[in-house]
């Protein structure tokens, strides 16, 4: 980590999707976006559907490249890194939570959480111990041996949160993490997410439609007309 504790920095990032083979105009999504995220802070990106929120998250995480500008993660330009280096950064320093929990279907909850730790090179036993501890902290100690299809939507999302945190990342990218949950489960996940982010001192980039959920972040931005506007 750099001395300024700046985890993520976007400078003049622009993105457009090219015209399709069938014709049509290129679609401009983002235009000269500047954004910073510091350790143990949280930012929320809100905006209408199709405004480019998810695209911004994907560019920030190095999952998608930008046409212009640069993305610095922990002081390193993501666009200059090889696939292997990016994989390593995703493994050690980033956690992801999506609207769909995206678990490995034929793995148990415990195994799903242990997998990223094993990818990072941690032995099976310590990886399982870490996974067990995290699953206990999200209230799933009685669901360790259950597979994805034996868990409810809220439980799957809690497994996804535990999995995102297992490698003690510097930053958590959450794209509509409560989007597919009912109100009660959504509230539970929101509380759990902010509690763990505070406890683990992790930076959070949250993409959401939900204004009250967004307002719990330290900073709130809105994507409008391809630009980022500061809400708070």
Partner 1 sequence: MRSKLALMLIGRKLGIKSSPAAKRRILFNILLISVVVAALVFAQLFVVSMSRGIANKYALLGNGHLQVHEKAGTPIPDLKQIVDVQLVAQTYSLLYSPSKNLMVRLKGVERSYFNSQRLGELTFLDTPLDTKGSSLPQILLSKSIASKLEVGQGDKVALMMISNNSLRPQLCIVGNLYDSGYKELDENLIFCDFSLMDKLFSSKADTYYELLVADNEADEVRSILEREGLSVTSWEEENYAVASNLETSRQAVLGVMIVVAILCGYFISELSRELIEDDKRRIALLKLLGSGNSLIRGVYFSTVMLVTLTSIVLGTASGILLGLNLGSMLSFLAAKSIPALAFYLLDFQVMVPFLDIAIILFVLILVSSLSVLWSLRRVRNIPLLSSTRFD
CA nearest neighbour of 178 among 214, 232, 142, 149: 214
Q: For residues 83 and 173, what is the distance between their CA atoms, to the nearest angstrom?
A: 19
Both structure tokens of 54: 């998810």
107 binds partner 1 (CB under 8 A): yes
Write phi, then psi, for 166 (nearest 5 degrees).
Answer: -65, -30
The order of strands in the sheet holding 42-47 is 94-97, 171-175, 203-207, 42-47, 219-224, 227-230
Of 41 and 108, which has the nearer Cβ to partner 1? 108
Applying CB under 8 A, the span of 31-39, 115-123, 136-144, 213-221 interacting with partner 1 comes to 115-123
Site string for partner 1, 34-73 (x = CB under 8 A): --------------------x---x----xx---------
Chain positions 138 to 167 lying near partner 1, rule: CB under 8 A, are: 163, 167
124 binds partner 1 (CB under 8 A): yes
Dihedral angle, C-alpha 114, 115, 118, 119, nearest 10 °: -150
> Which residues are near partner 1 by CB under 8 A?
54, 58, 63-64, 83-84, 87-92, 94, 96, 98-100, 102, 104, 106-107, 111, 115-116, 118-124, 127, 163, 167, 175, 180
């Amino acid at each position: 980590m750099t001395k300024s504790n700046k985890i993520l920095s976007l400078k003049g990032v622009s993105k457009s999707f090219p015209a399709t083979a069938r014709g049509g105009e290129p679609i401009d999504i983002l235009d000269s976006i500047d954004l910073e995220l510091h350790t143990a802070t949280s930012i929320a990106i809100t905006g209408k559907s199709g405004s480019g929120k998810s695209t911004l998250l994907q560019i920030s995480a190095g999952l998608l490249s930008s046409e212009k500008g640069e993305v610095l993660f922990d002081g390193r330009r993501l666009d200059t890194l090889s696939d292997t280096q990016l994989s390593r950064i995703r493994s050690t320093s980033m956690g992801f939570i999506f609207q769909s929990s995206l678990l490995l279907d034929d793995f148990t909850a415990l195994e799903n959480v242990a997998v990223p730790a094993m990818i990072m090179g941690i032995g099976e036993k310590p990886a399982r111990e870490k996974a067990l501890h995290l699953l206990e902290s999200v209230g799933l100690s009685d669901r360790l041996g259950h597979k994805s299809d034996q868990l409810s939507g809220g439980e799957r999302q809690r497994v996804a949160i535990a999995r995102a945190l297992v490698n003690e990342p510097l930053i958590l990218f959450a794209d509509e993490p409560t989007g597919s949950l009912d109100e009660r489960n959504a509230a539970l996940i929101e509380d759990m997410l902010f509690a763990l982010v505070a406890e683990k001192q992790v930076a959070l980039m949250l993409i959401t439609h939900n204004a009250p959920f967004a307002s719990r972040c330290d900073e709130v931005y809105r994507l409008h007309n391809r630009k980022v506007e500061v809400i708070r």
